[in-house]
Structure 1
Amino acid sequence: MIDNDLAQTGLTFAAGFGALLVFMGVGLAYALRRHLLSIVDTLWGLGFVVVALVSALVSLGGDGGRAQRWIVLAMVAVWGLRLAWHVGGRNSGAGEDPRYADLLQKGEAAGRSFATTAVTRVFVPQGVAMFIVSAPLMVGPNNDRMSVPLAVLGILVWAVGLFFETVGDAQLKAYKSDPANRGKIMDTGLWSLTRHPNYFGDACVWWGIGLVGAGSWPGLVALVGPAIMTYSLVNVTGAKLNELGQRKKPGWDDYVRRTSYFVPLPPKR
Structure 2
Amino acid sequence: MSEPKSRSVILIVAALVLSGLLAFAGSQQGWSVGPFAGFAIAVAAAFIVQWVAFVPAAMTQTDRYFDLTGSLTYIAVTVLLLALSPERDARSIILTVLVVVWAVRLGSFLFMRNLRSGGDDRFEEIKASKLRFFSVWSVQGLWVSLTAAAAWIAITSAHSAPLGWTTFIGIAVWVIGFGIEVTADLQKSRFKAEPANSGRFIRSGLWSVVRHPNYLGEILLWIGVLIVAAPVLQGWQWVALLSPVFVIVLLTRVSGIPLLEAKAERKWGDDPEYRAYRARTPALVPGLRGK
Instruction: State the distance in 2 between where 1:102 and 1:264 align.
Output: 37
Could you tell me which of 112, 125, 129 is aligned with 2:143?
129
| Counterpart amino acid of residue 154 in structure 2 | G
Q: Determine whether 1:234 maps to 2:252.
A: yes
Structure 2 unaligned blocks of 5 or more: 1-26
Deviations 1:204-238 (A, max 9, x none): 11111111111145153332211111111111111
| Counterpart amino acid of residue 56 in structure 2 | Y
| Counterpart amino acid of residue 90 in structure 2 | A
Q: Is the 8 A contact 1:42 1:84 kept in 2?
A: yes
Partner of 1:107: none
Deviation at 1:148, TM superposition (A): 1.3
Instruction: State the distance in 1 between where 2:228 and 2:120 align.
Output: 35
Partner of 1:25: 51
Tell me the number of residue pairs that the alignment of Structure 1 and Structure 2 aligns: 253
Could you tell me which of 56, 68, 75 is aligned with 2:98?
75
Deviation at 1:198, TM superposition (A): 0.8
CA RMSD of aligned residues (A): 2.2
Partner of 1:262: 284
Partner of 1:98: 121
Deviation at 1:172, TM superposition (A): 0.3
Question: Structure 1 pair 264/30, CA: closer, same or farther in 2 (3 Å)?
Answer: farther
Q: Is the 8 A contact 1:260 1:267 kept in 2?
A: yes
Partner of 1:108: none
SS at match of 1:61: coil
Deviations 1:224-257 (A, max 9, x none): 2111111111111111211111112233221111
Could you tell me which of 176, 183, 188 is aligned with 1:167?
183
Deviations 1:93-144 (A, max 9, x none): 532311222545xxxxxxxx53112112x10111112112221122112241
Q: Determine whether 1:151 maps to 2:167.
A: yes
Could you tell me which of 238, 251, 256 is aligned with 1:220?
238
Instruction: State the distance in 1 between where 2:98 and 2:117 align.
Output: 30
Instruction: State the distance in 2 between where 1:144 and 1:101 align.
Output: 47
Partner of 1:176: 192
Q: Is the 8 A contact 2:30 2:39 kept in 1?
A: no
Deviation at 1:21, TM superposition (A): 2.4
**93-102 or 173-182: which moved more?**
93-102
Instruction: State the distance in 2 between where 1:220 and 1:149 align.
Output: 20
Question: Structure 1 pair 264/103, CA: closer, same or farther in 2 (3 Å)?
Answer: farther
TM-score, with normalisation over the residues of structure 1?
Answer: 0.86
Partner of 2:86: 61
TM-score, with normalisation over the residues of structure 2?
Answer: 0.80
Partner of 1:52: 78
